[in-house]
Amino acid sequence: MPKAKLGVLISGDGSNLQAIIDRIEAGRLNAEISVVISSKRDAYGLRRAADHGINSVAVVRKDHKNAEEFNLAILKELQDNQVDLVVLAGFMLLIGSEVLSAYPNRVINLHPALLPSFPGDNGIKDALDYGVRITGVTVHFADKTFDTGPIILQDFVPVHQNDSEEELAKRVHKTEHELLPRAIHLLVEGRIRRDGRKVSILGRNSEQKGLKITF
Ligand code: GAR
């Protein structure tokens, strides 16, 4: 099976990018990262990419006159690098229809809460402040609004009494670092089916066909 070419979009630390890199380097994910695109020039994730010899670029919103041009600049990087699957791994801006329509069912997003609860930029803090006993992680297909697309995988994370935001965040990130590479693995293996909002995971030897990610 050809290796899926990933475009990983980040805005900050890039610990999830690192989890993907580690999984690939361990030979546990049949993919390569063709490009890392950061919405911030000083994102630590760019350093992580460089440390592993991965091609990267910053595409910054304020360098473009509107959201459409910003998204077209991202699309150009994805296409120039022949990306098959777009992974939003801590990318904190809305990805536009320019990218979504070029990559139908091939843009996935990571969110640090159990959607549809606690969407937005502060999923961990919002869950903690609300007082839930259980929060978690969601990987979903991106659509044209924040955090609303069909859910691919979720896992729960317990909230402990007297948790600080940092303590809870640590547990959430640990779960993210497992769940996001797993979702990518299932997609590149063609084991994800989508019927409207319903997503199913196919067994390894299923006769059914999943989404095609590599072309
Ligand atoms: C992750 O927790 C991710 O779920 C979150 O940003 C963090 C990025 O961490 N994304 C969102 O909140 C999107 N709404 P990382 O840069 O260390 O991978």
**Which pLDDT tens digits describe the chain residue by residue (215 residues)?**
789 999 999 999 999 999 999 999 999 999 999 999 999 999 999 999 999 999 999 999 999 999 999 999 999 999 999 999 999 999 999 999 999 999 999 999 999 999 999 999 999 999 999 999 999 999 999 999 999 999 999 999 999 999 999 999 999 999 999 999 999 999 999 999 999 999 999 999 999 999 998 87
Q: What angle do CA 169, 175, 181 make, to 5 degrees?
A: 130
Structural domain total, the chain: 1
Q: Which amino acid, 192?
A: I
| Residue 35 lies inside a defined structural domain of this protein | yes
- The encoded tokens of residue 41 equal 């020039």
The CATH number linked to 129 is: 3.40.50.170
| Residue 207 lies inside a defined structural domain of this protein | no
Which atom of ligand 1 is nearest to 14's Cα? Answer: 16
- The encoded tokens of residue 206 equal 């299923």
Q: How many whole angstroms from 110 Cα to the centroid of ligand 1?
A: 7
Query: What's the pTM value of the predicted model, to 2 decimals?
Result: 0.97
What amino acid positions are annotated as catalytic residues? Answer: 111
Best CA proximity match to 175, nearest among 122, 120, 137, 141: 137
